[in-house]
Amino acid sequence: MLHRFFISLIFVYHAFSLSALSFSVLPGKYSTNISYLVDTTHSITIEEVDLIPNAYFLKADNGSLKLGREESPVWIRIDILFDEKPQEDYLLELDYSLVDYIDYYFKKGQAWSVIKTGSQRRFTSRYLDYRFFIFPLTNTEKVQTVYFKINSKNTINFGISLKNTKDFYTSSLNKEIGHGLFIGFLILVMLTNLIFFFALKDRSFLIYVGYMFFTLCINLVLTGHASKYLPHNYGGFQNQFFILVFAFTISLSIWFAYEFLNLKEEKRLLKFLLILTAVVAPIMGLVSLFDGYVIVNSIFELLTLILLLVIIAIGIKRWKQGHKFAGFYVVAYLAYLTFITPIILLSFNLVERNFFSVYGSQIGVVLESFLLAVALGYRYSSERQKADREKKVVLEENLHLQKQLHSKLEQQVQERTAELNNALTQLHEQKEEIERQKENIEEQNKQLEKMNDNKSRFISILAHDVKGPINSLFSFAELLKNHIDHLSRKELVELGEKLGSHTKNLFNLLENLLQWSRAETGRIDVKPVCIELNEAIRENIELSEMSASNKQISFKYTEVPYTIFSDKDMFNTVLRNLLANAVKFSFEKSEITVSAEKLKGEVILKVKDNGVGIPPKVQDRLFDISTKHSTSGTSGEKGTGLGLKLCKEFVNLNGGQIWVESKYAEGSSFYFTVPLATEEEKLSKASVNC
């Protein structure tokens, strides 16, 4: 009975992942090619899209498009090549009923014609009076191109087939006969159970009739019959109608499970949540008739997935507890699962479109309905036999008053035992709650210990990164103190500008370290932007020149035309640390080389020095956050040993890697990777920060 749950599971998958569009043709003397383009501008016209080169369209593999739930319109281009000029009319069929807006463009002579339709438009806008969307192929040329402009808040999940007129009407008639048999079977099941209800006064049969009715309504919406036979003068009713019947299907499925599985024996909280959901769902469905059906649909999709897991788990539990009717419930679910699986696999593009991946839902509903109808009949028969036995017992008890009194005493004992069991259950629940609180306290203590460790590491790194800029400021101050009488006004102005620049850079450095402290406590957001690599490298080299000049060390960098996509502050911190380390461990009058190389969507940056090098054993511990290693520089410079660990954290947060190659006494080369900016990223909002 839970086939709506499985269909909703597919909807949840499409809401957060990919949607599928399949394109198929009947055997004939033609070939096809399908591709698509997402219009992020929301303004491309048919004349403009027809001028866009094929290279900008994404080609479908094996006739299948992978599209997300796009906010922007999607242009689908279909190129059809006939072996010879077609001598008969052809039709394109789009076989999904809940596509909001469809604009179909085709050539009539040399001019473009358009058919505008969709589930959010009037039924009379359709080319043919048919449950799905049909479009003509009127051009008689051997090579033809048509376009679909799709704009839908619903998931884009449909197939497009190309057929000649005769084949279309033949296949449509066969499909309608199949749907008629399916609908007739559901109506027959409803009438049979309705007769049982009036005869037996068992409300389970009436609840099941209501559930099957809304199941039929959902099927009519998904197969397009609802739009064909309901009033045509109102456009866009299908989405709201689908949500409404979806809501009542959820409510009745919960009610039926409650009655059929006898959930009165379950815990109060579970019963309260199930009843609350059954009441709230129809109210939300009614509200969606006026506004917000997309939000309600998303809520229902998530709610359905949760209910699926809860109710099926309860069914299996009740079955294990000896509820013999729950077995039918689980078997009916498994029967439907067998035939819904091809549909789920199709939504993941794991199978081709075939009979079972298209009609598996209807087959599963038929089997499910049959099994549950048998279950209801069997339950009634069992309960009738039980009632007869109870009646016989009552007659015997009237003859044996003593047994009745004894039975009453036993019943009282059972009631007292039940009360004691409830009390023990409550005590057990209280014990579990205390244990959970204890676990929470222990977890909080661990978090506090981690925060204290992070605080100590932050203070050490702060001293490490701030020391260099402050030394530079001290150097400027000493220069002013010792040589101010010998400096010209121009030199004083230049020196003042450098002091201001270094002071500003020191402030930026402190800001970066504060961001790292937030990263250590899980409160930092990585904000990647487009960065011109040449400019960033030059700025960081300039910051390092003051400390490098004390050792007469020069920098070498060959510019490259690359734009990277990374958090700018983190990138500067990493490069600045590597340059500072290169200066620290380089010999006087040596050269530091900075280079960049593009490889498979990323840039590999290299900082090479000709200094003391790093022993192999030390290399293994350089980036290990659990160890601390610090080595003095060639001029006795001190450090905390945490700079490279900071680099590793920032590089990893931006999706890159960092490593070192070094030979002792021959110098070191540090490498790290950053992503290249894509064309979309350069044009996105993030590029405003470039």
Residue 168 pLDDT exceeds 70: yes
Q: Could you tell me what percent of the chain has a pLDDT over 90? A: 12
Write the pLDDT tens digit of every residue in 549-596: 888 889 999 888 899 999 988 899 899 989 988 888 888 888 999 999
- For residues 647 and 520, the model is more confident at 647
Query: Exposure string (b/e) for 508-540, b if CB count within 10 Å is 16 or more?
Result: bbeebbebbbebbeeebeeebbbbebbebbeeb
What's the confidence (pLDDT) of residue 230? 64
User: Domain 525-690 in CATH: superfamily?
Assistant: Histidine kinase-like ATPase, C-terminal domain (3.30.565.10)
pLDDT in tens, 57-91: 888 655 555 555 567 899 999 988 887 777 778 89
Query: Where residue 15 falls among pLDDT bands split at 50, 70, 90?
Result: very low
How many Cα atoms are found within 13 Å in the side-chain-facing hemisphere of 621?
12
Would you give the end-to-end CA distance of the chain in angstroms?
A: 55
Is the pLDDT assigned to residue 532 strictly greater than 90? Answer: yes
Q: Is the pLDDT of residue 26 over 50?
A: no
Whats the size of the chain, residue-wise?
Answer: 690
Q: Where exactly are the structural domains of the chain?
A: 3-171, 174-387, 525-690
Average pLDDT over residues 45-58: 89
Give the mean pLDDT of the chain: 77
pLDDT of res. 104: 95
How much is the pLDDT for 2?
A: 41
Summarised one tens digit per residue, pLDDT across range 553-565 is 899 998 888 999 9
Q: What residue has token string 């809520």? A: 299
Query: What's the mean pLDDT in 516-529?
Result: 71
Q: Which fold has domain 3-171?
A: Immunoglobulin-like (2.60.40)
Best mean pLDDT range from 128-142, 632-646, 665-679: 665-679
- Top-confidence range, 184-193, 216-225, 671-680: 671-680
Better-predicted residue by pLDDT, 126 or 509: 126
> H/E/C letters for each residue in 485-510?
HHCCHHHHHHHHHHHHHHHHHHHHHH
Q: Where is average pLDDT lowest: 145-149, 242-246, 297-301, 444-448? A: 297-301
pLDDT single digits (tens) 357-411: 667 777 877 877 777 777 777 777 776 777 677 777 877 777 777 777 777 777 8
Question: What predicted TM-score, i.e. pTM, was given to this entire model?
Answer: 0.49
pLDDT tens, 317-368?
A: 878 887 777 777 777 767 766 776 776 566 555 666 677 766 777 787 787 7
Decide the pairing of beta strands 528-532 and 563-567: antiparallel
Instruction: Specify the CATH number for 174-387; select among 3.30.70, 1.20.1070, 1.10.260, 1.10.3470.
Output: 1.20.1070
Answer for the pair 319, 330: CB distance below 8 angstroms, yes or no. Answer: yes
pLDDT grade, residue 625 (50/70/90)?
low
Distances (CA, A) of 319 to 49, 246, 268, 373, 406: 59, 28, 20, 18, 32
- Are the CB atoms for 571 and 531 separated by under 8 Å? yes
Name the least confident of 74-78, 132-136, 451-455, 527-531: 451-455
Whole-number pLDDT of residue 19: 45
Output the CA angle 321-324-329, nearest 5 degrees: 100
Chain segment 477-488, per-residue pLDDT in tens: 777 777 777 777
Q: Give the pLDDT mean for 169-198.
A: 85
